[in-house]
Amino acid sequence: MASEAHENEELKEPKKGSPLIKIIILVVILAGLGGGGFFAYGKFIKKAPAEGEQSPVAAAHPEKQVICDWDPMLVNLADPGGKRYLKLGMKVELNNDRVLEEVKNRSFQIKDAMLMVLSSKEFDDIATPSGKQALKQEIVAQMNKIVKQGQVKDIFFTDFIVQ
């Protein structure tokens, strides 16, 4: 009987590597194939965007920032007695170069609209941060009514002096 048990052990196959090593090797091979496939797709198969089309990467980037410097404006405020005035300097952010040219060509219309807005304000209307923010929004809305080639995105006050 002892000899039979000894013979059965000899007939059994020797132990092979653990299943964990096999899984790790399989994962490494699959990762290499996946990476190679991705590289081949990007390099050889994927079509480059045609002329005039934007690639998805370019479409994800926002338009370039176009800034227009605005000459300082000095206006009387609508306070009783008319003894207060506002000196306002600002920069205007636009959404494209075409609207920059239009703003320059129609500056007289924009200045007129801004004078009407600014001269209708009293000191109490623009003294607080929320009042200044409301003034910004009103100026942007008035400017966007005038320009047609794009739009005014925002304005930034560079001077805001009330006396």
Given this structure, which CATH class describes domain 66-162? alpha beta
Q: Give me the pLDDT at residue 19, please.
A: 85
Domain coordinates of the chain in residue numbers?
Answer: 2-45, 66-162
Tokens for 142?
């008035």
Query: Exposure pattern of 92-131 as b/e (b: 16+ CB <10 Å)?
Result: bebbeeebbebbeebeeebeebbeebbeebeeeebeeeee
Nearest residue to 162 (alpha-carbon basis) of 89, 81, 108: 89
Burial of 73 (0-12, 13-18, 19+ CB in 10 A): middle
- pLDDT classification of 57: cutoffs 50, 70, 90: low
What's the whole-model pTM score?
Answer: 0.60
102/145 Cα distance (integer angstroms):
13
State residue 155's pLDDT score.
94
pLDDT score of 94: 93
Instruction: Return the pLDDT at 53.
Output: 57
| Average pLDDT of every residue of the chain | 83
Distance CA 63, CA 36 (A): 34
Closest CA to 94 of 134, 64, 53: 64
- Residues 124-129: contacts with CB under 8 Å, at least 24 apart: 126/77, 126/86, 126/162, 127/162
The answer to whether residue 79 scores a pLDDT higher than 90 is no
pLDDT tens track for 24-42:
998 899 888 888 888 888 8
